Chains A and B, each alone.
Chain A
Amino acid sequence: MSEIKILIDGQEVKTQGGQNLLEIILAAGIEMPHLCYQEQLRPYGGCGLCLVEIEGSRKLFRACSTSAEDGMSVITQSLRINSVRRQTLALLLSDHRGDCIAPCKNACPGGNDCQGYIGLIANGRYDEAISLIKETIPLPACIGRICPHPCQEACRRDLLEGTLHISHLKQFAADLDLAKDQPYLPKVETASGKKVAIVGAGPSGLSAAYFLAQKGHQIKIYEAMPKPGGMLRYGIPKYRLPREVLDKEIFLIEELGVEICCSQKLGQDIELEELRRKYDAVYIAVGAWKSSPLGCQGDDLPGILGGIEFLKQLELGCAPALGKKVAVVGGGNTAIDVARSAIRLGSDVTLVYRRSRAEMPAEPWEVNEAEEEGLNLRFLSAVSGVFEANGQAAGLRMQKMRLGAPDESGRPKPEPIPGQIEEQTFDNIIAAVGQQVSGEGLMGLALSPKKTIVADVKDFSTNLEGVFAGGDATNRGPGIAIEAIADGKNAAFVIDGYIRGEQRTFAKPFMVADANFSKDDLKSVPPCPSVPLQYQNPQSRVKDFSEIVLPYSEKEAQAEAFRCLECGCDALYSCRLLPLLRQYEAYEQNPGGSMHRRGLDLSHPLIRRDIDKCILCGLCVRVCSEKVGAMALDFMERGFDSQASPPFMQALAADADCISCGECVVYCPTGALSDRWPLGKTPPLAATQKAIVCPYCSEHCHMVGEYYGDWLLRVLPEGNERACSLGRYGLPLESNAASLDRLDKQEEMTLLRNIQGDLMRFNGEMPEFVGINDLISYLQNLRA
């Protein structure tokens, strides 16, 4: 072939004649999206993304199937090209059903990879589980105990036998880690020489410190209270979060070099201006420490306690002694915490709430637990006044309510029933109807009417240069701990950039999510009962503040982890569609419309087929026929219903042509085809690749091992090599042999049959396997 010259976007490129334009463009380092092209296979021209304009022609060409000709002038980017690419990607998205990340992970404000650590726990990979958890949450033992767990609300097992106890599994992994002599510590980059001051050692401040410290910055936290932990220590009673757990996790943050200076109150002991002067950046996470007043006549009477103040005093050991009868006003988590603490102090506690049980913001299980402990609940009672005796608050005047039409929160609005007013005397009244930011010491910071700090939602910046803010003290006001942690982590990302002179913003990246998932989609999932949490019995637990929920045993944790449905896509880290959907913002253009719901094909023990994620690039069909020569896959149906499938739409395991080499999986650009092993969990993890040599025959093929930590996830062929079923699946099967015990006879036989498919290629004969142990020892023998 002679050398030719072509122009690509005006740049002259010399190349050999006969090459297709896509090869030349990619070789020239020019970005060009494509989903159906692979060097080793014949150009297919299907996906329609590698479009180019060629001077002198009005139509668009597919670069993959256009031969370069001398003198050709090619344009790779134009409005027209990008618009077609965007529309095409939007069309693919409109019939691409699945979830890039599992609903649990998606629901977690902190983006904690629940499916990931659950899968690791299921496989007994506890070290990897804790390091994965700590990629997003620095205080998992605490959060595992106290989080209202939005993850669990999203868990799809709830459509069957009930949600997984995700939070409790996190606690399991974290407790296990804390019990070690040397618990997990993340790597700290070399010192940057930059300093960041953080105000507030609550969940948000500690998180920001944890992530900024890892970036090599010098971190100093100023904390107003005598001990760090913020609301975790002073707002959450010990029976939910033992202090030694909190102390250990904070200690690990200090181990990263973070300095925590307690009893340093902003505006009193330190000034914001001084911090700005001394540090490269400041993160304000002071929290919301003031209880809201009852908002009725008499709410300023002496003797009325604030819920948050009460919990704080309790922790500090300076709480006033409570009388026999205590009223707690409010229906949130703090109200329940206050009430249950008061019960533990020996009082008879009545909770007064203006709506009914169903509308309580507190988590229902906590309300139930409190009831078990003897809490009296008084619903549909609005406090209309506090009456006094001897200048002290002495009781509540309560208006009977009924539920009316929904208000703006969507809950039924309570309305007074005229004339139905009751009075009741109480020794103590504790108002737990909300929290506010005190606003003290925030000199110079722009505040909202609610006295919260105004911080940019994307980059946490405030009106003061170099001052960032997050957590309960900002914008919307108090939220849950994991939200504060998320703010701390995301703010750390932005602040790290700020220090380095980079403008960064945080935005949750686009992910495909299956909005119409229903119980029907779980029809073929075998039942797996929940492993319930174990509690101390109510009679003994009200006697002191010891922890009431018992941790999972290892066996329980594994059983619970095995219930995971693995909703998140296997191809999260290898998907070639998702980055393009983001790059072209194709999701903005999603036309919607009907979507296929064909369901999973889990018949094959080593390959998972999720045809609803298939974009019909045809790579699997082509690699199977062109490279492998097996013809186990082909195109079926036509029009919108076209699909790549084993012939006659049979299940993959029933396909006699499939030799289980897994090449189709290697070539699949999405998660439509992925590796699995029977009954084990294969969470999508950001794996690292290491070169390995296949040990099973004299060919000693060069392979690539994908590891998470030191756990071998899968083995892939290197470059253009073609792997056999042993090379692809032998090592992972051996290293996960334990989970193969769970196979029943039929599944065992399917696995044995499928792994054998490719063996004859080398040995010329089919070994006799009676059981799975034969296979494992066969593999071990080959290796020896």
Chain B
Amino acid sequence: MKLLLGLGSCGIAAGALEVEKVFSKVFQGSSLSLQRVGCNGMCFAEPLLQVITDEGESRYYGRLNADSAQELASDLLKGVLPDAGVLPQEEMQFLQKQTRIALRHCGLIDPENIDSYLAAGGYKALEKAFTLAPEEVIEQVLLAGLRGRGGAGFGAATKWQAARNEQEKIKYIVCNADEGDPGAFMDRSLCEGDPHSVLQGIIIAGYAVGAQEGLLYVRAEYPLAVHRLQIAVRDAEKKGFLGKNILGSGFDFTIRVVQGAGAFVCGEETALLASLEGKRGMPQPKPPYPAACGYKGKPTVINNVETFANVPWILENGPEAFAAMGTSDSKGTKVFALAGKIKRGGLVEVPMGITLGQVVMDIGGGTVSGRPVKAVQIGGPSGGCLPASLLDTPIDYAHIGRTGAIMGSGGLIVIDDSDCIVDMARFFMEFCCHESCGKCPSCRIGTQRMKEMLEKIIAGKGNMEDLEKLNEMALAIRDGSLCGLGSSAPNPVLTTMRYFPEEYEEHIKDKRCTALQCRALLHYAVKEDECAGCGLCADACPSGAISEKENIWQINKEKCNACGLCCQACPNKSIHLCSGEVTQ
């Protein structure tokens, strides 16, 4: 019997270390032991224990705590597999509907133990690669149709070939693990759950391109990922997968883990290179592209974590198997981080071409509140906000692009009807504004001005001309910014204005926020038929907004600042939050 406990950052945050202690205590002196693994993606059910019986049957015990773990451990010690705590069939759909390539080892191996990876067939792809000429490796990646998973979807093999073609002797591979999108955790989970697959991908790329060194740029806010990657590099060196004359191939390659200080813009490749060189992370004009002139002026291939994690699978299983999945322009699978109001939040990997709806509804289970899905924010701050009516959009680069959003690196934030679209647009604009490197005025000042305009609308002080100005400014930022982050920064505003114009108008014309989120547009009101007339609300009100008239208590809309103290004070729950004619 194998017992796998998910100990990614997400599991640890949910209390998996306490659970582990309980198990260790109970199992002390017995033949049973826990295996520490990374997250298998089912973050919604963590702490999560996967039990694999000797017959190969898997059972998942989720949402463990010290008490339930104590019971479960005792049962397991007795050889009993209890039914209590097993995740229901419905929740298992989360795993069943996925196709896992990049995530194939996540949740199944001990990321801090190279032997665990080797036992799962690790580093076989590297051996295979060395049987091929470098050009042949690139050919395999080309045939697979692997596109960069960082966001823009540039062909991986094209970059590799361009760097290979350069005459320079010194070349570099850079792995971009500077995941900065709010709500995205694909790279973190991969680095924490299966660091060796990432390393293997980098080494293979190094061999294909003719590079001598790989640099893994991870944000310092991912300490566990940094820790596990460092262990992985050390172990791979010990085992001879890194260093001189790897596996007797005559190929020398080293990998260095570099921590980034956490600027969103450093996910942009030229800014990332500047940061690697110790400079301020600011994008540079392209060309020259990094493939020709990158780190320290040398040819450099920059790919994302997920891109590298796909490479060993392609070599092991052949490019045809990879290309068989997905659509005509988007091959293979894509990892998504499901977050927001989703019922089953976590990390999923699906074949390209399945619809957004299948991911959100079938795998994610819809919203946690049971309320209707209102929109899906895809692609992070540079992406777009798509309405529920577009849930049947197939997930591939072309289809997502046509909606005005971008595929992005895989953040999927689900929004239900208690979320305000305008406020969400403001949030992303604030993020972009804060993260602007400051180089281009259109991004540095433009995002600030757009943020201010959205704040004005949210405060009920907007006018319809502001929408026009927002649109004009958004287009100017798009056209006037040097890097992709600047030019895509207005996307959340552009897409929400395109798909939810009525919600903007409602804030402006009716001074109403139907989602009851924008505080300046909210007030409380007493439901007369429910009011007992006790007057406790008036005592609680700090702004003197509540007064009595013939035994009926009323809240003055103008004076009410929507603090909610009256609502808490009301013994009858007869005070409700309102905006315009909308009542909670």
A634 within 8 Å of B (CB atoms): yes
B285 within 8 Å of A (CB atoms): yes
Q: Which residue of A lies closest to B432 (CB)?
A: A639
On whether A640 and B440 interact (CB within 8 A), knowing A59-B479, A88-B476, the answer reads no
Question: What's the interface size class on A, roughly?
Answer: 35 or more
From A51, A84, A594, residue with most partner B Cβ within 10 Å: A84
Partner-contacting stretch, out of B6-14, B349-357, B444-452: B444-452
Query: Chain A's nearest CB lies how many Å from the CB of B133?
Result: 32
- Once bound together, how far apart are the Cα atoms of A635 and B448, in whole Å? 18
From A43, A88, A618, A640, residue with most partner B Cβ within 10 Å: A640
Contacts of A618 in B (CB 8 A): 439
On whether A91 and B449 interact (CB within 8 A), knowing A591-B469, A638-B434, A638-B435, the answer reads yes
- Once bound together, how far apart are the Cα atoms of A566 and B438, in whole Å? 30
Of the residues A64, A66, A91, contact of B445 by C-beta under 8 Å: A91
- Once bound together, how far apart are the Cα atoms of A667 and B442, in whole Å? 22
A95 within 8 Å of B (CB atoms): yes
- B438 and A45 contact, CB distance less than 8 A: no
In chain B, positions 283-300 with a C-beta closer than 8 Å to chain A are 284-287
- A635 and B476 contact, CB distance less than 8 A: no
On whether A615 and B441 interact (CB within 8 A), knowing A45-B482, A84-B479, A635-B282, the answer reads yes
Q: Which residue of A lies closest to B482 (CB)?
A: A45
Of the residues B438, B449, B476, contact of A639 by C-beta under 8 Å: B438
In chain B, positions 443-478 with a C-beta closer than 8 Å to chain A are 444-449, 452-453, 469, 472-473, 475-476
- A593 and B442 contact, CB distance less than 8 A: no
- Once bound together, how far apart are the Cα atoms of A83 and B480, in whole Å? 10
Of the residues B449, B475, B479, contact of A51 by C-beta under 8 Å: B479
B437 within 8 Å of A (CB atoms): yes
Main secondary structure, interface of B, reads helix
- B433 and A642 contact, CB distance less than 8 A: no
Of the residues B439, B444, B481, contact of A640 by C-beta under 8 Å: B444
A291 within 8 Å of B (CB atoms): no
B263 within 8 Å of A (CB atoms): yes
Contacts of A95 in B (CB 8 A): 445, 448
- B445 and A62 contact, CB distance less than 8 A: no
Against B, the Cβ 8 Å flags (1 = close, 0 = not) of A25-48 are: 000000000000000000111111
Against B, the Cβ 8 Å flags (1 = close, 0 = not) of A79-110 are: 01001100110011011000000000000000
Query: Chain B's nearest CB lies how many Å from the CB of A647?
Result: 11
B509 within 8 Å of A (CB atoms): no
- Once bound together, how far apart are the Cα atoms of A607 and B444, in whole Å? 26
- Once bound together, how far apart are the Cα atoms of A616 and B282, in whole Å? 13
Contacts of B475 in A (CB 8 A): 83-84
On whether A640 and B445 interact (CB within 8 A), knowing A46-B440, A62-B285, A635-B280, the answer reads yes
B436 within 8 Å of A (CB atoms): yes
Query: Chain A's nearest CB lies how many Å from the CB of B248?
Result: 44
Q: Which residue of A lies closest to B477 (CB)?
A: A87
In chain B, positions 403-448 with a C-beta closer than 8 Å to chain A are 433-442, 444-448
Against B, the Cβ 8 Å flags (1 = close, 0 = not) of A618-651 are: 1000000000000000110111111100000000
Of the residues A45, A60, A66, A638, contact of B436 by C-beta under 8 Å: A638
Of the residues B448, B476, B480, contact of A594 by C-beta under 8 Å: B448
- B441 and A88 contact, CB distance less than 8 A: yes
- Once bound together, how far apart are the Cα atoms of A615 and B440, in whole Å? 10
- B479 and A92 contact, CB distance less than 8 A: no
A425 within 8 Å of B (CB atoms): no
Contacts of A638 in B (CB 8 A): 263, 434-438
On whether A84 and B476 interact (CB within 8 A), knowing A634-B280, A638-B263, A638-B436, the answer reads yes
Query: Chain B's nearest CB lies how many Å from the CB of A49?
Result: 8
Contacts of B472 in A (CB 8 A): 83, 87
From A91, A95, A615, residue with most partner B Cβ within 10 Å: A91
Contacts of A593 in B (CB 8 A): 448-449, 452
- Once bound together, how far apart are the Cα atoms of A80 and B480, in whole Å? 11
On whether A639 and B441 interact (CB within 8 A), knowing A65-B285, A591-B469, the answer reads no
Contacts of B435 in A (CB 8 A): 638-639
- Once bound together, how far apart are the Cα atoms of A528 and B312, in whole Å? 76
- B263 and A48 contact, CB distance less than 8 A: no
- A639 and B436 contact, CB distance less than 8 A: yes
- Once bound together, how far apart are the Cα atoms of A43 and B435, in whole Å? 23
Ranked nearest first, the 6 interchain pairs of A and B with the lowest CB-CB distance are: A642-B438, A65-B285, A87-B476, A45-B285, A640-B448, A91-B445
Would you give 24 A-B contacts (Cβ < 8 Å), ordered by A?
A44-B439, A45-B284, A47-B440, A47-B441, A48-B440, A64-B285, A65-B285, A67-B287, A84-B442, A84-B475, A84-B480, A87-B442, A92-B441, A92-B445, A615-B441, A616-B438, A616-B441, A616-B444, A638-B438, A639-B434, A640-B433, A641-B438, A642-B437, A642-B438
